[in-house]
């Protein structure tokens, strides 16, 4: 759940930064090129993060939360904390 919310906020921040840089009146030089490169890498990162979130959600929906804890996806400490 938290990963999905974080993915949504990350995607929203990436889109806001892309629109901000796109609408700049004066954007030249290495600083602007670095910002554009950062936006490009953030796009790939957002796609990868979203795919990771979808795979986790699919696993949880198929097998349930307890099965993920027993399959070794989570650390033993996290699994014990869920048993409380």
The answer to whether the CB of 50 falls within 8 A of the CB of 11 is yes
Average pLDDT for residues 50-59, to the nearest whole number?
A: 85
Q: In sequence order, which ranges of 1-84 are alpha helices (DSSP H)?
A: 2-22, 29-63, 65-70, 76-82
pTM of the model: 0.60
Question: Is the model's pLDDT at 74 over the cut of 80?
Answer: no
How many Cβ atoms from other residues are within 10 Å of residue 79's Cβ? 16
What share of the chain has pLDDT > 70, as a percent? 74
In this prediction, residue 32 carries a pLDDT of 85
Q: Write out the H or E segment, with its range, that includes residue 74.
A: none
The answer to whether the CB of 42 falls within 8 A of the CB of 17 is yes
Better-predicted residue by pLDDT, 28 or 81: 28
Distance, in Å, from the CA atom of 47 to the CA atom of 59, rounded to the nearest integer, reads: 18
């Amino acid at each position: 759940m938290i990963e999905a919310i974080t993915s949504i906020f990350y995607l929203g921040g990436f889109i806001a930064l892309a629109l901000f840089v796109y609408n700049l009146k004066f954007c030249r030089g290495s600083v602007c090129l670095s910002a554009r490169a950062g936006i490009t890498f953030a796009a790939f990162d957002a796609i990868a993060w979203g795919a990771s979130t979808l795979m986790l959600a699919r696993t949880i929906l198929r097998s349930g939360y307890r099965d993920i804890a027993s399959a070794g996806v989570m650390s033993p400490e996290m699994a014990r904390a869920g048993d409380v």
